[in-house]
A and B are shown apart, each in its own frame.
Chain A
Amino acid sequence: EAGLNAVCPRWRLSVLSKDDNGVVLSLGVKNQRLIVSARPFRLDIMQGPEVLLSLNSRGLLAFEHLRLHKDTDKEEVGLWEETFKSHTDTKPNGPTSISLDFSLPGVEHVYGIPEHADDLKLKTTDGGDPYRLYNLDVFQYELYNPMALYGSIPVMLAHNTQRTMGIFWLNAAETWVDISSNTTGKTVFGKMLDFVQGSSENPQTDVRWISESGIIDVFIMLGPKPSDVFSQYASLTGTQSFPPLASLGYHQCRWNYNDQEDVKSVDQGFDQHDIPYDFIWLDIEHADGKRYFTWDPHKFPQPKEMLQGLMDKKRKMVAIVDPHIRVDSGYKIHNEITSKDFYVKNKDGRNYEGWCWPGNSGYPDFTKPEMRAWWASMFAYDQYEGSMENLFTWNDMNEPSVFNGPEVTMHKDALHGKWEHRDIHNIYGLYVQMATAEGQTRRSGGVERPFVLTRAFFAGSQRYGAVWTGDNAAEWDHLKISIPMCLSLGLVGVSFCGADVGGFFKNPSTELLVRWYQTGAYQPFFRAHAHLDTTRREPWLFGPENTALIREVIRQRYALLPYWYQLLYQAHKTGMPVMRPLWVDYPKDTATFTIDDEFLIGRDLLVHPVTEEGSRGVTAYLPGAGEVWYDVHTFQKHNGAQNLYIPVTLSSIPVFQRGGSIIPRKDRVRRSSTCMENDPYTLYVALSPKKFAEGELYIDDGHSFNYDTKKEFIHRSLTFANNALTSNNLCPNCNFLTSSWIEKVLILGASKPSKVLLKMDGKETPVDFEFDTSMSVLTLRKPGMNAGADWTLLLQ
């Protein structure tokens, strides 16, 4: 039930007709029916005469049940006991797997079921391994491979030009997904020939889900629009948590910043090189003997002094807290867990122990609500010594990672109360992050928003914080794969996603590092991280030219923070992904269906990162027939529905703003996001061919729950139509005061007015402006109104 949100809407089904072999039920929506057939058993969801989706049409429904081993049982290898390398799984309940097939007529493109280091569009698995969902700590993972990684979200999206649907297979046991398609291997020409000859069979994708244990518990999301599927899924598992604004800034991480001096000098390095950042991170070496919640007494003797130093600069810190607990009678956390009997048990009922960073470790049973409540209480300032309000948390190794366990994880016959680990494996990591986020919220009396990063995840993890793609490598292919990996996560609810900038293992070339910063700055979670064995790679260590390139892109990120924040708010409210595949906003454009080397941020920014070594140019697809896109750096206008070749240098980051959109930016970039709180906005109004544009502006205090509990926020719509730009209040009963104002308005694709007037409080005042004829950019100089006010700018 942890995967699911508490409030799930329900409707009553009505029987339309029935006969000896089945019933026809109305699904509430017009023309949508469910046909239940008894022999053979199948379910068909219909819209009018069309079959949208069928269950068990291939008859692959199968289930086993928990039972004791009897002498009369068939003896087959692996049925009652399995061996993997030196590990034995005792399988006390025997074989328990379940399976069901789904058919998707008219569908050629399916997405989702992360986490895999693979393309955005899922491949057919005929003749190969199925996609595997089993949270594992994989050492140096392979790319373009259906192997299991750190997290599992058993949600698949199916899309064609008519409809988007989703299948949510709610099961936390090891799960496999097979995909086959009747159009596999057919060329475009072949498909066209089929169409012309009229001999074509309807394209269809067939999917089979298999889980090792549990029950068949499936949710079908019928769309029809992509945004409908997102909100339908959000109604089941909740939306992305609304993170503190600062966590959308740049994060500087390394395994490890060695000591307080090191932290101080890196912090100063950012100021010396005038590069903004918000968070500096400490990995496992900061703790005393890998005892989390403690500090190494030699390297970090004065954690509060260190945190205060960061706070003085309005910056923050993250320290790692992993869920493996050092077995050590001198360690408070271990002793309390032991005395409260909160550890996971092995099959014999003794505390389960395994090897991880500290050596012999216990694993708290995070599936227990009492355990989670206790864990949360450990984040209180008086419990977590040396912590302060600008210290946040990172949960790593929560698959859970057990160095000497089968596949580096926990034995399946370990026990969580009456449940075997096999039943809950994929949700363990979610519970860890859940309890940690709860602790962070509670330490402030429920006032402050938490920030917790997790490596393992499950359906619903989006409610608790950010996710990253684990231990990648400093290789160009790893940079490339970060895009489909985060896109896939966004499609199934997890918007706050990022990959280690620079690559975790190995040393990146300078070019790769620069390109990675340029890519990471346009992905939701923006953190550089590096392995202990790599050479230092703070942004200023590669010569002044490269420092300047990295500084520039981090500044671009900070200027766009208002837009990122507004998108996270939208994701939190509606479930819309922040980083999106193009097809989400261009669902009828088949050219977008397999694109995963570029992406949209929200609806209005299109990014095509340079991910090839020595690249001299990229070809970006600009979607939208009849639409226009503006290069955000030069303001040059390009038509939609074309492949655009863009020559690039090392400083180029191809980013385009959609004609028809308004994006608020804070172009005064400072040391950290918090320093920019009261700074003025610049509005980038990109006109559509019909001289129209719209956008939003969201402002709150950036860190508390007051936006929710006290409605303390500003939410405004910005509309440009009929030569007038207007700000309207979207939340009239909200109350929040900002000292931010509008310092500048850029209107892209404008024509030159004779006069510009600001209408506000019943008065009209002229506004200075400049017009750049070559790029058709109109700049309104210092209109000066408060960002929370009602106003109209008239172009005459």
Chain B
Amino acid sequence: MTCVHLLLTLVFAVSLGTPVEIQGPRGVPLTKKQFYVENKPFTCLDGSRTIPFDRVNDDYCDCKDGSDEPGTAACPNGSFHCTNAGYRTMFIPSSRINDGICDCCDTTDEYNSGAKCENTCKELGRKEREVLQKMTEITKEGFLLKQHLIEEAKKGHQEKQIKVTDMQENKKQLDEKVEVLRTVKETAEQPEKEAKERHLKAWEEQKAAIRLEKDKAKMAEAFLELDDNADGFVSVSELQSHAELDADADGTLTETEAQGLMGGAEQVDMSTFESVWPNIKDKYHSEVSREEADMSCLVSSEVPFGPHRWLVQLPSEAFYRYVTEKYSCTSYVSSSCSLFPYANPTVLWFTAAQKARDDFEEAEKALREMDDQIRNIEKELSFDFGPDAEFTYLYSQCYELTTGEYIYRLCPFNRVSQKPKYGGSETNLGTWGSWSGPENNKYLLMKYEHGTGCWQGPNRSTTVKLTCGKETVVTSTSEPSRCEYLMEFTTPAVCQEPANTDLSPHDHVEL
């Protein structure tokens, strides 16, 4: 019973199939049917040999090009044609015939494998038409948007070019202004420089005089200290009480040693002591412990108030304030340390020079800023924004996509980055490199390179794949290889003009 039933089903299926199926060897496309003529010798399509027709599709490979077995898996390089009525026709490698896997939606590839395939062509065709329709719509709208983008880009381009030309003109004027101000500045600085040199010299002289004065005072003090008996003479024995003057460092200052220091004399008076003082002043310890304020004033005054500091580093305003208001360094060191003030005309020179400097610097800064602006616009103008500048609108924009873990950010022509959703620092996934699509359309891929380095790996990089869409949006990201990211991005800028709007999709599919 089952057998009969099966047989009937089979006959039914075949009789249903026959009306639409054009007879001919299995797996041959309509375009090649002419080469396969029943009962006539078949010549392999590469012309390599001729075989009897009963060897076509006899499950043995005779032709090197596989053309004698279009409907069996016998040839390693054969291909099988499925008609797929209701859907797209298709070629599959003949190795997929009767392998138990349904490849053709019309089930014709599995005629002898026992695989239970269902004809899904109608359903696939319907779905494909829907998708095609949608795609066509998107492409259409996208292409319109693209025209806008191109218009805008053109306008923007012109505006920017005009702006650059204007700016170039302004820049010329600025250039001249800077040159004029430079001359003014240099002229104004000449008397200032001279005054400073004079002042420096005078300051050095005064400092030397002060030092000499202090030394003298110290010597006199030392004489009085050493002259224990106050007889107006310093004797050898009086000197011996200062063991620190010991020359051979054995701890005692012998009589001979002391006499040596005194230049062979037994005793010296105040005026002769002047010649002894240089021998002992470096080692001499005063008997009264006292501040060394005098010396330290000299030393410390060199640091915050010394002429070098002033002239070189203090800003003009502060300088002026010190010169006019603070004649002494009382707040910093002992009162004995008075400062050497500038004379009034010198200060005026300084003020004039400073003003010239400020004017010059201001003009120079303006020039630099102008230069930067020009450079930025020129850089933007030099970018390859596509054959019709349709990608211009992406410049200085950023687009984000949030996934389970990260927020991805694409700033076209600039950089790609990744930031953890729940805190953590941003990682650079690459900065703009180049267009890197296939030769026939390089504008389908963007390459961003030299991102943050990977541990034991390369620097991160990202490839951005552009597809046509109405919206400009990042649709997905992945990391196919460690630290090599792939981002999918839709934009109207890559939408192509719909091929043939007159041809309805129906005709196409039916064919």
Contacts and interface: CB of A to CB of B under 8 A. Distances in A.
Interface of A: 258, 261-262, 274, 298, 312-314, 532-536, 555, 667-671, 674-676, 678-679, 743-744, 781-782
Contacts of B503: none
B454 A744 contact: no
Classify the secondary structure of A's interface with B: loop
B100 A668 contact: no
Nearest to B404: A298
29 contacts: A258-B479, A261-B478, A274-B93, A298-B404, A312-B101, A314-B100, A314-B101, A532-B482, A533-B455, A533-B456, A534-B481, A535-B484, A536-B480, A555-B76, A667-B76, A669-B76, A670-B99, A671-B95, A671-B96, A675-B100, A675-B101, A676-B99, A678-B113, A679-B73, A743-B60, A744-B60, A781-B60, A782-B59, A782-B60
A743 B480 CA distance: 43
Given A313-B101, A668-B95, A670-B96, A743 B59 contact: yes
Contact of A535 (B58, B95, B481): B481
Contact of A669 (B95, B100, B456, B457): B95
Contacts of B76: 555, 667-669
B100 A533 contact: no
Contacts, number: 62
Contact of A533 (B73, B95, B457): B457
B429 interface: no
A741 to B, nearest CB: 9
Contacts of A743: 59-60, 74
Interface in B54-74: 58-60, 73-74
A782 B58 contact: yes
B58 A670 contact: no
A390 to B, nearest CB: 14
A298 B455 CA distance: 24
Q: Which residue among A261, A670, A781 has the maximum number of chain B CB atoms within 10 Å of its CB?
A: A670
A261 B59 CA distance: 37
Interface string B432-475: 00000000000000000000001111100000000000000000
Nearest to A255: B482
A69 to B, nearest CB: 45
A88 to B, nearest CB: 31
Interface in B36-69: 58-60
Nearest to B457: A533
Given A535-B481, A670-B96, A675-B100, 17 more contacts: A261-B478, A274-B93, A312-B101, A314-B99, A533-B456, A533-B482, A534-B481, A535-B458, A535-B482, A536-B480, A555-B76, A668-B74, A670-B95, A671-B96, A674-B100, A743-B74, A782-B60
Contacts of A668: 73-74, 76, 95
A534 B457 CA distance: 7
The 5 A-B pairs with the shortest beta carbon distances in the complex, nearest first, are A675-B99, A533-B457, A536-B481, A782-B60, A535-B481
Contacts of A536: 480-481, 484
A427 to B, nearest CB: 33
Contacts of B478: 258, 261-262
A793 B99 CA distance: 29
A669 B76 CA distance: 7
A313 B99 CA distance: 9
A279 B39 CA distance: 45
Nearest to A667: B76
Nearest to B479: A258
B457 A670 contact: no
A537 to B, nearest CB: 9
Q: Which residue among A312, A533, A555 has the maximum number of chain B CB atoms within 10 Å of its CB?
A: A533
Q: Which residue among B454, B455, B481 has the maximum number of chain A CB atoms within 10 Å of its CB?
A: B481
A298 B404 CA distance: 8
Contacts of B100: 314, 674-675
Contacts of A744: 60
Contacts of A274: 93, 95
Nearest to A782: B60
A274 B73 CA distance: 14
Contacts of A782: 58-60
A560 to B, nearest CB: 14
A190 B59 CA distance: 64
Contacts of B58: 782
A307 to B, nearest CB: 16
A261 B58 CA distance: 40
Given A532-B482, A533-B456, A536-B480, A671 B59 contact: no
Interface string B61-91: 0000000000001101000000000000000
Q: Which residue among A312, A668, A671, A743 has the maximum number of chain B CB atoms within 10 Å of its CB?
A: A668
A670 B484 contact: no
Contacts of B99: 314, 670-671, 675-676
Contacts of A298: 404
Nearest to B454: A533
Contacts of A314: 99-101
A743 B74 CA distance: 9
A1 to B, nearest CB: 43
